[in-house]
Structures are given as structure tokens and as C-alpha cells.
């Protein structure tokens, strides 16, 4: 989350492969759904609505169709072969394929096939495929806890399990199916932190100073509105349509997400941020089509609005840095800024994507060997440098990573790294919670309906609570 980050079914992560296709060099059957190059996929409102209607009208038919589509995209691995389902925030799949070739040179008995798929496929189709007993051997996912029942413990297949615990100890629990579990189920390909980007050029043109590091959400929004008005930009602020992205501002406003018993709850802090988001969308501060233009819990980022100069301030996360650098370039000066404050905190949400091992593999030993190779310090360091991600390996983080990136991108990355110590304990708690999708998905779906005018905000908040209860009960069966 990375980056992360948040979707219709589940984020399978900032931050992000399915099966059978001819790997990175060929287009999977749904190539029309994917933006070429390094971009996370964009989806038109019409296509999203059609998909939503299909899902709602016939879940069973959609489930079968998803399994078929994914089976076409990520083939079944043969003996000595492992399939890696990979989505990219930037160039993760390309770097993984390059490293896989090096691994194969050292392990001639193993063939690694990296299948690049859209993030949407990871979100919506991978869970269906795994539930049907199908799927790849390894997948890059962001819904780390929600899919944990499908993960394979690779502890027997790694050279030094203790080294994994020492270096990845903070994130290994995110992938474990229960708090008492001590298994190794995957490797974080990135740590992500949510936070805002700002069009600095617009602030300069409007001759309005940037708010300071302790500025509140209200102060930032007020400044962004003034900039938008002065420069005739359509919108002041945009948030990714994601319950995960909403969570940082909500926690800053006082949301606890859990009651005294440890159950999910929609409290006053959550409601306060929901009211702000609703009002900002209804009064034109935000582009209504982002949250109100698609249905269900469908994920939709607002990158294009920001990149096209239509938004002054954009809440997303660290996984967007490469996109910012490659797509915006020198069109305008963009910067990352510290998370705005509320009465309770000034926090984003941690997250990230991981390569996880999947139980359905017929080659568990080879899966473990490949992940162990990627997690080794020199290879992991190279992976972080080339993909421009924040490392989850403690030893690599301590030594530092030499990023070959522009000064603008490096400054943004340093801003996000500096946000890590400020993250609220509640942010770690909700990110590590196995059923966090039970609140993240209804947040996007119901607030989206309220913003679209399909129900009142009060009704949306009631429906979110009901949805949480229903999903938690269903997960307990």
C-alpha cells in the first residue's frame, strides 16, 4: 500500500501477476485494461461500472469468468518451474524478471516465469482463483492478512530462518494467519507510507506559502483552495478512492478503528473525517468523479488528475514516486509534504506489497529458494535501489540504499521516510489487522455512494457499520 496501498474485493498491496501467460514480453488477454509501461492501470468510469454491474448481477458467473481469465494469463507451472504473478507500481516486475534470470543461472534446475498483470487483476481476480484452488506459485499482493489462509510457510526451505526474523521481523506478522504463528510466508518488496503530493509550481504562481510541517488538514485544504482559485485550477484536493488511504486522515482526526474489546468500530474520529471528505466532494474542493464516479469498493487513484495539473494537492503514497518522476518530469515542480495534522495525530498508514508463497504450488522447495534469494542482503539492496522503494529489511535500511534517481524524486522519498517515525500506533494496528478489508472496502463503497448522492452521509455511516459486522461474521464461519 505499496504502495501499498487498497479495491473491489481485496488488494492482492503502493503497492503489486496472475497466471499462465507468456510472461512480461507478451500481452495478457486483458491487455486493453492495462496502461502500457510502468504505470499502475487506469480504468475508465464506463468500464468500471460495467464490471461492477457484472459483479453485482451474477457473482457466480463472474467468479468462473475470473478464474478462466486468470488461468489464461498465468499458466500452470510444470516440474521445476514456478510462476510469479506480478503487478508493478513502477518497474518491479521488470527488475524481478532480471533477477530471476540471475537466479536461474545459479540454479539450473529451476525455471522462473514472471507474469505481469494489472493491479486490478490482483485485487479482484486473484482471490477468486485462489478460492478455487488455482493460481500462481508466488504472487505480489498488498492485502497481506486477508489472503493469508492461502499462503505457504517457506521456513523449511530457507537457509537461515533466524536471519529472516531479524531483518524482516516487523513485517512478517502482517502475512501470518494468526498472532501465534511464527511462519515465514513471504517477503516485502517495499514498505510504503501514505501521504500527500503538492503541485509546488501552482503555489508559487499563486504567491501563497506552503503550510508548515504541523499544519492541519483544514489549513492545507484552505491553502489549496486559494491556490486553485488564483491559478484557475479545477480542484484543490484529491484522495485516492481507497479505505486504506482514508485511514491516515481519519486516525489523525481521532479514529481508533477498534473498540475496547478489539472489535472494529466507526467512532467519532472516523465520522469527523468522513464528514470532511463528503463536504469537500460536494462543494467542489475535490473531483467528485474519483469517489463518486465508480461503484462498489472499486479502487481508483487520482494520479491522472494531479499529473494533468487539475489538482493542487493529492493524497496517495510513496509508491507513486517513480510515476511522478517519469510521467510528470519537468512539467511542473511536485513535492511530497508531511501528513497534515488532526487533533489526534499527523499520520499516514504504513503498508506495502509482498511476494507471498502460495500453498497450491507443486514446487514448494523452489518457491522457498527463490524468495530466499530475493531476500538475501545484496540482492534485496539492488532490488530496492532499482525499484526506488523503501526497504523492509532492517540491515539494508540501516546501511542505506543508493538510489539512482532525480533530486526531485530523492527529496520526495526522504519526506516519506521521515514520516515513518510519526506513524500512529493505530495505523500499524489497522494495517496489521487480518480483516482490515472489512472496514476499508465499505469505506470506499458507502462513502462513494453518499458522495454520488445515492444516500445520505448518515445512512452511509450506518451501512458501513452493518457491512463491517456482516463481513467479520462471514470471515468467522
Rounded to whole angstroms, the Cα distance separating 261 from 398 reads 37
Rounded to whole angstroms, the Cα distance separating 374 from 256 reads 36
Grid coordinates belonging to 435: 480483516
pLDDT confidence of residue 3: 42
pLDDT confidence of residue 76: 53
- pLDDT over 80 (residue 122): yes
- pLDDT over 90 (residue 239): yes
Q: Count CA within 13 A, CB hemisphere, residue 338.
A: 20
- Going along the chain from its start, the domains and CATH numbers come out as 23-191+352-402 (3.40.190.10), 193-349+428-476 (3.40.190.10)
- pLDDT over 80 (residue 102): yes
Using one digit for the tens of pLDDT, what is the confidence trace for 31-86? Answer: 222 222 323 333 333 333 333 333 333 333 334 444 444 544 555 555 579 999 99
- pLDDT over 70 (residue 403): yes
pLDDT confidence of residue 218: 98
Q: What is the DSSP letter of 83?
A: E
pLDDT confidence of residue 78: 56
Integer-rounded Cα Rg, in Å, for the chain is 21
Secondary structure (H, E, C), the chain: CCECCCCCCCCCCECCCCCECCHHHCCCCCHHHCCCCCCCCCCCHHHHHHHHHHHHHCHHHHHHHHHHHHHHHECCCCCCEEEEEECCCCCHHHHHHHHHHHHHHHCCCCEEEEEECCHHHHHHCHHHHHHCCCCCCEEEECCCCCCHHHECCCHHHCCCHHHHHHHHCCCHHHHCCCCCCCCCCEEECCEEEEEEEEEHHHHHHHCCCCCCCCCEHHHHHHHHHHHHHHHCCCEEEEECECHHHHHHHHHHCCCCCECCCCCECCCHHHHHHHHHHHHHHHCCCCCHHHHHCCCCCCCECCHHHHHCCCEEEEEEEHHHHHHHHHHHCCCCCEEECCCCECCCCCCCCEECCEEEEECCCCCHHHHHHHHHHHHCHHHHHHHHHHHCCECCCHHHHHHCCCCCCCHHHHHHHHHHHHHHHHCCHHHHHHHHCCCCHHHHHHHHHHHHHHHCCCCCHHHHHHHHHHHHHHHHHHHHC
Contact yes or no for 325/340 (Cβ under 8 A): no
Residue 266: strand, helix, or coil: coil
Using one digit for the tens of pLDDT, what is the confidence trace for 363-396? Answer: 999 999 999 999 999 999 999 999 989 999 999 9
Using one digit for the tens of pLDDT, what is the confidence trace for 408-435? Answer: 999 999 999 899 889 999 999 999 898 9
- pLDDT over 60 (residue 445): yes
- pLDDT over 60 (residue 88): yes
Grid coordinates belonging to 300: 481508483
pLDDT confidence of residue 369: 97
Indicate the pLDDT class of residue 20, thresholds 50, 70 and 90.
Answer: very low
Angle at 419 between CA 223 and CA 86, to 5 degrees: 105
The average pLDDT across 205-234 equals 97
CA-based nearest residue to 309, from 335, 334, 340: 334
The average pLDDT across 213-217 equals 95
Rounded to whole angstroms, the Cα distance separating 290 from 245 reads 13
CA-based nearest residue to 31, from 115, 104, 157: 115
Using one digit for the tens of pLDDT, what is the confidence trace for 296-339? Answer: 999 999 999 999 999 999 999 999 998 999 999 889 999 999 99
Using one digit for the tens of pLDDT, what is the confidence trace for 142-188? Answer: 999 989 999 999 999 999 999 999 999 989 999 999 889 999 999 99
Contact yes or no for 422/339 (Cβ under 8 A): yes
Amino acid at each position: 500500500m505499496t504502495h501499498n496501498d487498497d479495491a473491489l474485493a481485496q488488494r492482492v498491496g503502493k503497492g503489486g501477476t496472475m497466471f499462465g501467460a507468456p510472461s512480461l514480453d507478451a500481452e495478457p488477454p486483458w491487455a486493453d485494461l492495462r496502461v502500457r509501461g510502468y504505470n499502475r492501470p487506469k480504468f475508465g468510469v464506463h468500464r468500471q461500472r460495467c464490471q461492477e454491474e457484472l459483479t453485482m448481477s451474477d457473482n457466480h458467473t463472474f467468479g468462473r469468468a475470473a478464474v478462466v481469465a486468470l488461468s489464461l494469463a498465468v499458466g500452470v507451472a510444470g516440474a521445476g518451474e514456478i510462476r510469479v504473478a506480478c503487478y508493478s507500481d513502477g518497474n518491479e516486475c521488470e527488475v524481478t524478471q532480471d533477477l530471476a534470470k540471475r537466479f536461474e543461472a545459479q540454479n539450473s534446475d529451476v525455471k522462473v516465469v514472471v507474469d505481469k498483470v494489472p493491479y486490478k487483476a490482483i485485487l479482484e481476480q486473484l482471490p477468486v482463483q485462489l478460492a478455487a484452488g488455482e493460481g500462481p506459485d508466488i504472487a505480489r499482493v498488498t492485502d497481506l492478512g486477508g489472503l493469508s489462509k492461502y499462503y505457504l510457510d517457506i521456513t523449511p526451505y530457507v537457509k537461515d530462518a533466524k536471519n529472516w526474523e531479524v531483518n524482516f521481523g516487523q513485517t512478517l506478522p502482517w502475512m501470518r494467519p494468526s498472532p501465534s504463528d511464527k511462519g515465514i510466508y513471504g517477503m516485502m518488496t517495499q514498505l510504503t507510507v501514505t501521504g500527500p503530493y503538492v503541485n509546488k509550481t501552482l503555489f508559487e504562481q499563486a504567491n501563497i506559502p506552503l503550510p508548515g510541517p504541523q499544519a492541519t488538514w483544514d489549513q492545507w485544504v484552505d491553502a489549496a483552495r486559494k491556490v486553485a482559485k488564483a491559478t484557475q485550477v479545477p480542484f484543490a484536493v484529491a484522495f485516492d478512492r481507497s479505505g486504506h488511504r482514508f485511514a491516515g486522515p481519519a486516525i489523525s482526526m481521532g479514529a481508533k478503528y477498534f473498540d475496547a474489546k478489539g472489535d472494529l468500530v466507526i467512532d467519532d474520529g472516523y465520522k469527523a473525517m468522513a464528514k470532511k471528505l463528503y463536504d469537500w466532494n460536494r462543494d467542489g474542493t475535490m473531483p467528485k468523479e474519483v469517489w463518486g464516479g465508480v461503484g462498489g469498493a472499486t479502487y481508483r487513484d487520482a494520479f491522472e488528475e494531479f499529473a494533468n495539473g487539475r489538482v493542487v494537492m493529492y493524497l496517495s503514497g510513496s509508491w507513486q514516486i517513480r510515476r511522478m518522476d517519469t510521467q510528470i518530469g519537468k512539467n511542473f515542480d511536485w513535492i511530497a509534504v508531511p501528513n497534515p495534522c488532526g487533533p489526534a495525530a499527523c499520520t499516514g498508514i504504513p503498508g506495502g506489497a509482498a511476494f507471498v508463497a502460495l500453498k497450491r504450488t507443486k514446487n514448494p522447495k523452489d518457491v522457498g529458494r527463490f524468495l530466499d534469494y530475493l531476500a538475501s542482503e545484496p540482492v534485496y539492496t539492488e532490488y530496492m535501489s532499482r525499484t526506488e522503494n523503501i526497504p523492509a529489511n532492517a540491515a539494508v535500511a540501516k546501511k542505506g540504499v543508493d538510489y539512482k534517481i532525480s533530486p526531485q524524486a530523492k527529496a520526495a522519498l526522504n519526506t516519506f521516510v521521515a514520516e515513518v517515525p510519526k506513524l500512529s500506533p493505530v495505523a500499524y494496528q489497522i494495517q496489521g489487522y487480518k480483516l482490515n478489508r472489512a472496514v476499508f472496502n465499505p469505506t470506499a463503497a458507502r462513502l462513494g455512494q453518499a458522495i454520488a448522492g445515492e444516500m445520505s452521509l448518515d445512512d452511509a455511516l450506518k451501512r458501513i457499520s452493518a457491512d463491517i459486522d456482516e463481513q467479520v461474521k462471514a470471515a468467522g464461519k
